[in-house]
Amino acid sequence: MTKQTPETIDWSTLGFNYIDTGMSFRAKFRNGKWEPGKLSKDNTVRMSEASPVLHYGQACFEGLKAYRTKEGDIQLFRPDQNAKRMKKSAEQLLMEAYPEDQFIAAIHQVVKANADWVPPYGTGASLYIRPFLYGEGDIIGVQPAKKYTFSVFVTPVGPYFKDGLLPQAFLVSEYDRAAPRGTGAVKVGGNYASSYLAGKEAKDQGFADAIFLDPATHTKIEEIGSSNFFGITKDKVFVTPASPSILPSITKYSLLWIAEKRLGLKTVEKEVYLDEIDQFVEAGAMGTAAVITPISSITYQGKTHLFSAEKETGPITQSLYEELVGIQFGDIEAPEGWIQIIQ
């Protein structure tokens, strides 16, 4: 296959796939401190075969995007929130967190170096940014590494779910993604490996993805393997699950704010029982990759609940989407501190 370049790529048909853009950021933690990071053209990594990341999953990551505005600027959406969350993830796995200010500086540096790969305004595509941190070195016992690499690569992406903003059907999984007092609330590799089987079973049956229930009682909606869940009641309340074992989604907290302050909706984070989903007229998945993906139906143990906004995106989901995406692409004024322009 010929290598894609910013000149040959068809931005409007991009899915969520990796393309090597040629420039990544790498920093190494050695001898008890972070060495200065630098850009690298090498998209491969090399490490000891005994590295804790390879055996025990000592790894965490983040996901955020850079957006091209109508004026041609490139902007980031709330990177400080990703920096904070990655610190929490690192701490939970006893890893050396990469300092938050350096995290943000690294994002700016790598996006700037790959500026040609930020999709043009109006194509709907954006530049996905993947910071990650892993433990390496010669360790065989179950214990944390003494050496770490923090790295960032970028890749241009379109929609995560193949039908984009069309409502999609989801399947409630019989598996758990994370344990009640486990690592569900941090963005660590193991959570994702353990969601593969559920995701495959859902996709094999024609569903967009799996929805996980709470691992203690299996009665409440937790989240999707790649995104948080929301529902809209007929009284226009934006409801999203509260749970200690889901990822605190930056998109969710942004939409809670948008729903309340810009759309005048009531919002609530609370336990969402699966047998009460008929209170919702609209539902969706929300996350950096998923953006807002409307949910047409939820199937569990052979029974399907259809939302009334089944064939086309419901009006509130549509308004939330327009407001969020408008802010991200610079068409709508952002709340203070949400946007950083790449200089």
Quote the radius of gyration of the chain (alpha carbons, Å): 20
CB of 251 to ligand COI, least distance (A): 8
Based on CB atoms, which residue is closest to ligand COI, 171 or 281?
171
Torsions phi, psi of 317, nearest 5? Answer: -55, -45
User: Pick from ligand PLP, ligand COI, none: which does 223 bind, CB < 5 to 8 A by kind?
Assistant: ligand PLP
Based on CB atoms, which residue is closest to ligand COI, 167 or 287?
287
Burial class (CB in 10 A: 0-12, 13-18, 19+), 304: exposed
CB of 250 to ligand COI, least distance (A): 9
**Interface region with ligand COI, contact rule CB under 6 A, candidates 138-146, 151-159, 177-185, 283-291:** 283-291
User: Pick from ligand COI, ligand PLP, none: which does 21 bind, CB < 5 to 8 A by kind?
Assistant: none
CB of 258 to ligand COI, least distance (A): 18
Say which of 87, 147, 187, 252 is annotated catalytic. Answer: 187
CB of 221 to ligand PLP, least distance (A): 12
Based on CB atoms, which residue is closest to ligand COI, 208 or 265?
208
**Distance between start and end Cα atoms, the chain:** 34
Distance in angstroms (rounded) separating the CA atoms of residues 70 and 16: 23
Catalytic annotation present for 41: no
Query: Which of the residues 158 through 177 are near ligand COI (CB under 6 A)?
Result: none
For residue 126, the cross-strand partners are: 157
Please tell me the number of Cα atoms within 13 Å of 16 on its side-chain side: 16
For residue 273, the cross-strand partners are: 220
For residue 188, the cross-strand partners are: 60
**Interface region with ligand COI, contact rule CB under 6 A, candidates 71-79, 178-186, 285-293, 316-324:** 285-293
Distance in angstroms (rounded) separating the CA atoms of residues 82 and 94: 18
Which single residue is written with the structure tokens 């047998």?
A: 275
CB of 288 to ligand COI, least distance (A): 4
Please tell me the number of Cα atoms within 13 Å of 23 on its side-chain side: 15
User: Pick from ligand COI, ligand PLP, none: which does 19 bind, CB < 5 to 8 A by kind?
Assistant: none
Q: Which of 24, 58, 226, 313 binds ligand COI (CB under 6 A)?
A: 226
Q: Which of 40, 48, 63, 92 binds ligand COI (CB under 6 A)?
A: 63
Distance in angstroms (rounded) separating the CA atoms of residues 336 and 322: 19
With contact defined as beta carbons under 8 Å apart, do 148 and 96 qualify?
yes
Based on CB atoms, which residue is closest to ligand PLP, 96 or 223?
223
Interstrand relation of 221-224 and 339-341 (parallel, antiparallel or unpaired): unpaired
Which single residue is written with the structure tokens 């193949």?
A: 162
User: Pick from ligand PLP, ligand COI, none: which does 249 bind, CB < 5 to 8 A by kind?
Assistant: ligand PLP
CB of 284 to ligand COI, least distance (A): 14
Q: Which residues bind ligand PLP (CB under 6 A)?
A: 63, 223, 225-228, 247, 249-252, 287-288
Based on CB atoms, which residue is closest to ligand PLP, 82 or 296?
82
Distance in angstroms (rounded) separating the CA atoms of residues 333 and 135: 40
Which single residue is written with the structure tokens 């086309």?
A: 312
Based on CB atoms, which residue is closest to ligand PLP, 27 or 186?
186
With contact defined as beta carbons under 8 Å apart, do 44 and 31 qualify?
no
Q: Is 307 left (phi over 0), alpha (psi -120 to 50) or beta?
A: beta
Q: Which of 79, 158, 284, 287 binds ligand COI (CB under 6 A)?
A: 287
CB of 87 to ligand PLP, least distance (A): 14
Binding residues (CB under 6 A) for ligand COI: these are: 63, 192, 226, 287-289
So which residues are the catalytic ones?
187
